[in-house]
Amino acid sequence: MAIAATVPLASRDDLSLAYTPGVARVCEAIAAEPDLVDDYTWVGHTVAVVTDGSAVLGLGNIGARAAMPVMEGKAVLFKQFGGVDAVPICLDTQDVDEIISVVTALAPSFGGINLEDISAPRCFEIERRLDDALPIPVFHDDQHGTAIVVLAALRNAATLLDRKLSDLRVVVSGAGAAGVAVTKMLIAGGVHAEDVVVVDSRGIIHGGRSDLTPVKADLAATTNAAGRSGGIAEALAGADVLVGVSGGQIAEEAVAGMAPDGIVFALANPTPEVHPDVAARHAALVATGRSDFPNQINNVLAFPGIFRGALEARAIRVTDGMKVAAADAIAGVVADALRPDAFVPSALDPRVAPAVAAAVAEAARRGGVARR
């Protein structure tokens, strides 16, 4: 990564505009009318990619310095796919209050905040409190980016099988950041909450368990209406959809217990919960998080366009309506050419980010959170 000027600095006149005395006029204008910062500085097209290094990829809590390569890579993807400038910021603290304080203090320099690789359950509180405190979009990609692409993929998978989302019984394996967000996004997108079963490392989440965190207790209150208990095998018995976001392995026998013409999204990287070849023996449609198998569910399909659209609309937050609109746009890119091995757009498809950006901006305006 590098920082580059967007105007020439080849003469005294250029210098007088970029620095003194010309820059003072811009400062005075922004001081008088603060919203002009979006027009006359990088704020209107730049986001901060913020981590505390506590949950980096599958590497775990490796700290701020070791997290920097991932944040730089994320910034490069923002620029390549969404035309959004991004600055990686790795914080040398994992205290919730300190993170919120630092990001709040930095926020005037950016048009949005992309939270990245922050462990659960701390990530939920950090996002919620920053979203309440700041007048710009705050988006935890590990939660919502994954969830948006899962919803897009499931829409197209259901279409291929001539099914409706409201007819599907879904199992989400994993109740961390991605699992919680996937559950909420699928419900927002049309899956019935009572037909969703969430499984964590200790088994099915249900109201009779005494070991639930507040986030998991909320899931227990809204999902699993049948009151299922047990482990992943019991959850998958007769299920139509498996979404794996846990990293744990799922036995072939459990997948074999799913309903006919099932859908398996095994998204753990680099080792899926169930190998795609194994899943294909029992499911009609399979997707993974890997680039070497068909139907890769990749967050890069979501976050560049989401921030591009949010910045264009000068949205003050990212709403559920904007997330669902993003999912619909991703699904729509390949809706006319669906195949079992291609119901998710390629991560390199140049049509995706513009489509997502347009849909997100329109949803922001429709939802009353846009400033232009």
Residues of each annotated binding site for a divalent metal cation: 116-117, 142
Q: Can the peptide bond before residue 345 be classed as cis, meaning omega within 30 degrees of 0?
A: no
Residue found under tokens 């003469």: 11
R_g over Cα of the chain: 22
- Helices (H) and strands (E) counted in the chain, each on its own, are 15, 10
Q: Which of 74, 184, 216, 323 is catalytic?
A: 74
Q: What is the largest CA-CA distance in the chain?
A: 74
Is residue 40 part of the annotated active site? The answer reads: no
Per the annotation, where are the binding residues?
116-117, 142, 269, 298
* Pairwise CA distance, residues 93 & 118, whole Å: 11
CB 109 within 8 A of CB 98: no
* Pairwise CA distance, residues 117 & 123, whole Å: 9
Decide the pairing of beta strands 196-200 and 203-204. Answer: antiparallel
Q: What are phi and psi of 234, to 5 degrees?
A: -65, -35
Distance of CA 38 to the CA centre of its chain: 25
CB 145 within 8 A of CB 299: yes
Per the annotation, where are the binding residues for (S)-malate?
269, 298
Is residue 79 part of the annotated active site? The answer reads: no
Positions marked catalytic? 19, 74
